[in-house]
Amino acid sequence: MSKLISPMEPEEFARFVVDALDDLKSVNTVTLDVRDLTDVTDYLVITSGTSSRHVKSLASHVSVEAKKRDIHPLGMEGDDAGDWVLVDFSHVVVHVMLPEMRDFYDLERLWANPEVID
């Protein structure tokens, strides 16, 4: 389990993130419980925006809403281009992507069915 940086439990914070994304009409949001797959984070929240501007706005909104509760992200990557923005809250990592990036990288499949290498 990752280090908590929030007064909320990870599952509660993941729901908070989804609600914040819904505020700005995110598209096809999913939450993946990856606690059994990695020690880096507990939950991945993956969603899409309809344009680069929407992707950036969604990621920014999540960050702003979290900061209102004194929860600060460890970092944000990709907000300059806006095709894929990652917001790292340690125990919850948020991926906001354009649909074509999301289809190409297919994170849901990658994390749902990890490949076993002998």
- pLDDT tens profile 18-36: 999 999 999 999 999 999 9
- Residue type (1 letter), 117: I
Give the Cα-Cα-Cα angle 7, 22, 17 (nearest 5 degrees). 20
Which among 51, 47, 46 has a CA at the least distance from the CA of 82? 51
* Domain ranges, ordered by start, for the chain: 10-103
CATH superfamily of 10-103: Beta Polymerase, domain 2 (3.30.460.10)
| Amino acid at the residue 72 | H
- Burial 5-24, CB ≥16 within 10 A → b, else e: bbebebeebbbbbbebbeee
What is this structure's pTM? 0.89
Closest CA to 27 of 96, 106, 112: 96
For residue range 34-46, list pLDDT tens digits in order. 999 999 999 999 9
Angle between helices 52-68 and 10-23 (to 10 degrees): 130
Average pLDDT, the chain: 90
Assigned token pair, 70: 């004194």
Quickly state the pLDDT bin for 8 (edges 50, 70, 90): confident
For the chain, where are the E strands, in sequence order?
27-33, 43-48, 75-77, 84-88, 92-97
Confidence of residue 4 (pLDDT cuts 50, 70, 90): very low
